[in-house]
C-alpha cells in the first residue's frame, strides 16, 4: 500500500474469494453507485464459469448486480463492510479523502468477516495492508488506544499501527482482532456501561452452552480496573476462511428488492430447512437449536438479537449435473453477542411468532411447527431452556459477576414479566 493511499478515492475495486488465502480467486468488479452511495458487483468471467452465487440475490449471471438500497453493497458484499466502530477507526486511523462505502470496504483491510477480500487490482490480490495482529499481551494497550479514539485524542504512530491491524472489524462497540496462540479472536472492551458487560457476556455465553446451544468460544481477559472478553472467530478454520452471511443478508436475498423481508427466527428456520445441510438431518437439528436460542434470548432478556447477531456459514455440496459451479449450502453459525440487554423493553429486534417481536413464550410457541416441532416437542425444548435459566444467578456468581450487577440484571431476568412466564410454563 502506498503511503498516499488515504488520499485516493475509489470508484472501482476488485472482489476476491479467500477460502484458501494462498490461492485467492477473482470474483468480480465492485463499482460505486453514486446515487445512494451503494456498491455494485459484476462477476468476472472465470467466476461465472467455476464459482458460486455469493448469496441468492447474486446469481451467476453476467449482469450488473445493484445494491438493494442506499448506503449498501450488493448482496453478500454488504457483510464484508465494517460497521459503526470499524468506520470510526477508519476515519481516525486512515483518514480517507472521501467517506463513501467504497473507501470503507477498502480500508477494512484483509481480515474482515467471512472469506471475501477487496483489492486494488484484478490481476493479483492487493488489499489494504497493515501489520501483524496484536497479541493477547497487547490487550491492555489496545484498551487504552480505544479510549483515546473514543475521546478523539491523539495517538502515537506505534499505537496507530497496533490498532490498524485489527481495529476495523465489524460491530457497533469497541473491539479489535488479536492473535491468541496463532488463532484469531475478537476482543471486546468495556464501554462505560453501568454493568460489567464483558464479564456478563462471558457468563451468558457459557450459560447458553448449558442449554445445548452451539456458542462461539469465549475467554475473559482481565485488564487494569476492568474486563474484556475475547471471542474466537468461527469464520476461520486454521488458515482457511469460511464464507459467511448475516441472517439479514441471507433473508433479504430470498425476496425481491421491492419486497420487505421477514427478519425473524421462524423464517430463518425455514431457510435452514430449504438450504441447510440435509445430511443425516443436520438442518433439522439446527432448526431445533435455533428455537432454543430464541427461547433463551427471550428469558435472558437479550432483546438486541438483530439481523447481524445471527450468521450462517456457507459451505458447498457437489456440483450440479452439467455445470461447473458449486451450489452454496448454509449452516447455522455458533451463537454470539448473547447477553442480557437489561432494557426491559419487552420486544426483540428479530421476529418471534404470530405476535411479532413480543418477548413471550406463547409467541415463541405460536410458530413452533416452522422449526419442525410439534407443540409437545416445542414445550419440551422450552422447559429444557427454563431449567438452565433458573440457574443463571448461581452461574453468573461462579463466573465472578458482582452481586450488584446480578441484582441489577435480576430486575429484568427475574422481573415479573419474565419470571412469571418461567413459572407458568414449567407448571
Could you give the number of structural domains in the chain? 3
Residue 4 has a pLDDT of 53
Judge if 367 and 416 occupy the same domain.
yes
Has residue 126 been placed in a domain? no
Nearest-angstrom CA–CA distance, 340 and 349: 13
Residue 316 has a pLDDT of 67
Has residue 221 been placed in a domain? yes
Asked whether residue 138 carries a pLDDT value surpassing 50, the answer given is: yes
Has residue 128 been placed in a domain? no
Has residue 91 been placed in a domain? yes
Maximum distance among all alpha carbons in the chain? Answer: 67
Residue 16 has a pLDDT of 98
Has residue 201 been placed in a domain? yes
- The pLDDT confidence band at residue 319, using thresholds 50, 70 and 90, is very low
Asked whether residue 321 carries a pLDDT value surpassing 60, the answer given is: no
The answer to whether the beta carbons of residues 301 and 343 sit under 8 Å apart is yes
Judge if 224 and 245 occupy the same domain.
no
Judge if 220 and 242 occupy the same domain.
no
Judge if 223 and 251 occupy the same domain.
no
Share of the chain above pLDDT 90, in %: 81
Instruction: Please say which residue of 187, 209, 232 terminates a domain.
Output: 232
Contacts 24+ apart (CB under 8 A), 62-70: 64/31, 64/40, 65/40, 65/41, 66/33, 66/38, 66/40, 67/33, 67/36, 67/38, 67/39, 67/40, 68/252, 68/257, 69/36, 69/38, 70/36, 70/37, 70/38
Judge if 241 and 151 occupy the same domain.
no
Average pLDDT, the chain: 92
Instruction: Encode pLDDT of 416-426 as tens digits.
Output: 999 999 999 97
Judge if 228 and 344 occupy the same domain.
no
Which is more confident, 395 or 9?
A: 395
Closest by CA to 270, choosing from 371, 378, 367, is 371
Asked whether residue 38 carries a pLDDT value surpassing 60, the answer given is: yes
Has residue 129 been placed in a domain? no
Instruction: Encode pLDDT of 195-236 as tens digits.
Output: 999 999 999 999 999 999 999 999 999 999 999 999 999 999
Query: 39-53, 248-262, 264-278, 321-335: which has the minimum mean pLDDT?
Result: 321-335
Judge if 299 and 387 occupy the same domain.
yes
Judge if 228 and 249 occupy the same domain.
no
- The pLDDT confidence band at residue 390, using thresholds 50, 70 and 90, is very high
CATH number at residue 185: 3.30.200.120
Has residue 205 been placed in a domain? yes
Residue 39 has a pLDDT of 97
Mean pLDDT within 26-41: 94
Judge if 106 and 217 occupy the same domain.
no
Judge if 156 and 82 occupy the same domain.
no
Residue 322 has a pLDDT of 43
Residue 159 has a pLDDT of 87
- Residue 319 domain boundaries: 237-426
Judge if 292 and 399 occupy the same domain.
yes
Instruction: Encode pLDDT of 44-83 as tens digits.
Output: 999 999 999 999 999 999 999 999 989 999 999 999 999 8
Residue 424 has a pLDDT of 94
Has residue 97 been placed in a domain? yes
Instruction: Please say which residue of 198, 232, 266 terminates a domain.
Output: 232
| Rounded alpha-carbon distances, angstroms, from residue 115 to 305, 358, 393 | 24, 35, 39
Instruction: Encode pLDDT of 362-387 as tens digits.
Output: 999 999 999 999 999 999 999 999 99
Residue 1 has a pLDDT of 39
Mean pLDDT within 340-349: 93
Residue 168 has a pLDDT of 65
Instruction: Please say which residue of 69, 87, 119 terminates a domain.
Output: 119
pTM for this prediction: 0.94
Judge if 82 and 146 occupy the same domain.
no
Residue 3 has a pLDDT of 45
CATH number at residue 245: 1.10.1070
Amino acid at each position: 500500500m502506498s503511503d498516499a493511499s488515504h488520499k485516493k478515492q475509489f470508484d472501482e475495486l476488485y472482489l476476491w474469494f479467500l477460502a484458501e488465502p494462498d490461492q485467492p480467486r477473482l470474483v468480480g468488479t465492485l463499482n460505486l453507485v453514486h446515487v445512494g452511495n451503494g456498491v455494485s458487483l459484476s462477476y468476472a468471467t472465470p467466476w461465472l464459469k467455476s464459482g458460486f452465487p455469493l448469496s441468492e440475490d447474486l446469481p451467476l449471471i453476467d449482469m450488473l448486480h445493484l445494491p438493494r438500497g442506499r448506503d449498501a453493497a450488493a448482496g453478500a458484499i454488504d457483510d464484508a463492510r465494517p460497521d459503526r466502530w470499524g468506520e470510526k477507526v477508519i476515519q481516525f486511523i486512515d483518514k480517507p479523502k472521501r467517506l463513501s462505502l467504497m473507501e470503507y470496504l477498502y480500508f477494512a483491510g484483509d481480515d474482515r468477516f467471512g472469506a471475501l477480500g477487496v483489492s486494488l487490482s484484478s490481476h493479483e490480490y492487493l488489499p489494504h495492508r497493515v501489520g501483524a495482529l496484536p497479541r493477547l499481551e497487547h490487550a491492555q494497550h489496545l484498551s487504552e488506544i480505544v479510549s483515546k479514539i473514543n475521546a478523539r485524542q491523539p495517538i502515537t504512530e506505534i499505537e496507530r499501527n497496533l490498532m490498524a491491524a485489527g481495529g476495523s472489524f465489524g460491530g457497533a462497540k469497541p473491539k479489535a482482532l488479536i492473535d491468541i496462540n496463532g488463532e484469531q479472536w475478537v476482543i471486546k472492551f468495556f464501554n462505560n456501561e453501568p454493568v460489567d458487560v464483558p464479564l456478563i457476556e462471558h457468563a451468558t455465553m457459557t450459560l447458553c452452552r448449558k442449554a445445548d446451544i452451539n456458542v462461539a468460544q469465549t475467554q475473559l481477559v482481565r485488564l487494569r480496573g476492568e474486563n474484556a472478553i475475547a471471542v474466537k472467530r468461527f469464520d476461520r478454520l486454521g488458515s482457511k476462511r469460511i464464507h459467511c452471511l448475516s441472517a439479514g443478508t441471507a433473508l433479504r436475498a430470498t425476496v425481491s428488492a421491492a419486497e420487505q423481508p421477514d427478519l425473524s427466527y421462524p423464517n430463518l428456520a425455514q431457510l435452514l430447512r430449504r438450504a441447510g445441510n440435509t445430511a443425516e438431518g443436520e438442518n433439522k437439528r439446527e432448526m431445533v437449536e435455533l428455537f432454543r436460542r430464541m427461547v433463551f434470548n427471550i428469558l435472558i432478556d437479550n432483546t438486541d438479537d438483530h439481523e447481524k447477531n445471527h450468521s450462517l456459514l456457507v459451505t458447498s455440496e457437489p456440483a450440479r449435473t452439467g455445470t461447473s459451479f458449486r451450489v452454496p449450502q448454509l449452516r447455522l453459525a455458533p451463537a454470539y453477542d448473547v447477553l442480557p440487554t437489561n432494557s426491559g423493553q419487552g420486544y426483540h429486534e428479530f421476529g418471534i411468532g404470530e405476535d411479532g417481536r413480543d418477548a413471550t413464550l406463547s409467541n415463541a410457541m405460536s410458530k413452533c411447527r416452522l422449526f419442525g416441532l410439534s407443540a409437545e416437542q416445542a414445550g419440551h425444548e422450552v422447559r429444557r431452556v427454563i431449567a438452565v435459566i433458573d440457574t443463571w444467578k448461581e452461574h453468573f456468581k461462579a463466573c465472578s459477576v458482582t452481586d450488584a450487577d446480578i441484582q441489577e440484571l435480576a430486575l429484568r431476568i427475574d422481573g415479573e414479566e419474565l419470571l412469571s412466564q418461567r413459572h407458568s410454563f414449567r407448571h
